[in-house]
C-alpha cells in the first residue's frame, strides 16, 4: 500500500530503475485491513473543556462526506466561500461586522470512509453563545438561499489560485499526485480539478448544505471557563 511519486526534470527511466533497486531489498509484509467506521450519532453533541482562559476556543463541526465522494468539489467551493479566506462569509459577518471572534475559519477534514466539515474560532468569553448562534445562522443561509453568481465566481477563482500556488514546488506536485494515487481511482491534473470547481452550481451547494448541515450531524467542542453545556446544547438542538 505504498505509493512513490516523483516530480521534476529527471529522466523517468532512471527514477524507475532506482526505485525498483531500493524496493527489491525491502521485505514487504502482508497488508492489514482497516476497521470500518461505525457512525451512530442521532443528536447534537456538546463537550466543554473547563480552563481559565482569556477567550473561548471553539470547534463546531458536522459529519460530512468521505474523500472518495464525487461531491467533494462542491464542498470545496462551499468551504471557500464560507470561511477559507478573509473575504469569506464567516470572517466578514462574525469578525468584521460583529467583532465576535479574534480568529475564525472553516475547513474540511475528509478521510477514506467519513468526513468532517467544521468551523474553528476564538471568541469573546462573554459572547460565546452569540458567536455560536451567528455561525449557525451562516450555515442556515446556505440551506435556504442560493449563493449569487458573483460570490460563487469569486470562490472558484480563489480556489483556482490557491491550487496553482500550492503546486509551485516539485515536492508539492509529487505529494499532490501521491495522495490522488493512494485514495482515488483516477488522478486528476490541476486543470481537471479546476474544471470541476468551475462546474459547481449554486443549486448543488444548497443541496449538499441541506443534506449535511442538520442538527443530528452537529457537534460543538469548546475550551472555556464555562461549565454549563446545557445552554449550548439548546442552541444546537434548535438549529434546522
Listed by start position, the domains of the chain span 42-172+187-238
The sign one gets for the Cα dihedral 47, 238, 76, 165 is negative
Taking only Cα atoms into account, the Rg of the chain, rounded to an integer number of angstroms, comes to 21
Q: How far is CA 233 from CA 92, 117, 139, 184, 229, in A?
A: 26, 19, 17, 37, 6
Find the range with the poorest average confidence among 21-25, 48-52, 68-72, 83-87.
Answer: 21-25
**Which architecture does CATH list for 42-172+187-238?**
2-Layer Sandwich (3.30)
Q: Is pLDDT above 70 for 10?
A: no
Tens of pLDDT, residues 150-207: 999 999 999 999 999 999 999 999 999 898 888 887 889 999 999 999 999 999 999 9
- Please write the tens of the pLDDT for every residue from 223-239: 999 999 999 999 999 99
Task: Give the three cell numbers for residue 16.
Answer: 524507475
- State the chain's mean pLDDT as an integer: 93
How distant, in Å, are the alpha carbons of 11, 103, 216 from that of 203?
Answer: 46, 30, 23
pTM of model > 0.85: yes
What pLDDT digit, counting tens, does each position of 212-226 carry?
999 999 999 999 999
Amino acid at each position: 500500500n505504498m505509493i512513490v511519486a516523483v516530480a521534476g526534470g529527471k529522466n523517468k527511466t532512471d527514477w524507475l530503475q532506482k526505485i525498483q533497486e531500493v524496493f527489491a531489498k525491502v521485505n514487504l509484509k502482508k497488508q492489514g485491513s482497516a476497521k470500518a467506521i461505525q457512525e451512530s450519532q442521532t443528536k447534537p453533541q456538546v463537550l466543554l473543556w473547563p480552563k481559565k482562559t482569556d477567550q473561548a476556543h471553539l470547534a463546531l463541526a458536522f459529519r460530512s462526506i468521505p474523500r472518495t465522494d464525487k461531491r467533494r468539489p462542491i464542498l470545496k467551493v462551499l468551504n471557500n466561500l464560507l470561511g477559507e479566506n478573509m473575504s469569506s462569509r464567516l470572517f466578514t459577518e462574525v469578525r468584521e461586522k460583529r467583532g465576535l471572534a479574534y480568529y475564525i475559519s472553516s475547513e474540511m477534514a475528509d478521510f477514506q470512509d467519513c468526513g468532517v466539515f467544521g468551523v474553528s474560532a476564538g471568541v469573546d468569553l462573554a459572547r460565546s453563545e452569540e458567536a455560536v448562534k451567528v455561525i449557525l445562522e451562516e450555515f442556515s443561509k446556505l440551506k435556504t438561499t442560493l449563493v449569487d453568481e458573483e460570490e460563487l465566481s469569486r470562490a472558484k477563482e480563489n480556489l483556482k489560485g490557491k491550487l496553482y500556488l500550492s503546486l509551485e514546488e516539485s515536492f508539492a506536485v509529487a505529494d499532490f499526485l501521491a495522495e490522488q494515487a493512494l485514495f482515488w481511482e483516477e488522478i486528476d491534473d490541476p486543470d481537471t480539478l479546476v474544471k470541476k470547481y468551475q462546474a459547481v452550481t449554486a443549486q448543488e451547494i444548497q443541496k449538499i448544505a441541506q443534506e449535511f448541515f442538520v442538527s443530528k450531524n452537529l457537534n460543538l467542542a469548546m475550551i472555556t471557563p464555562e461549565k454549563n453545556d446545557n445552554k449550548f446544547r439548546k442552541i444546537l438542538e434548535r438549529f434546522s
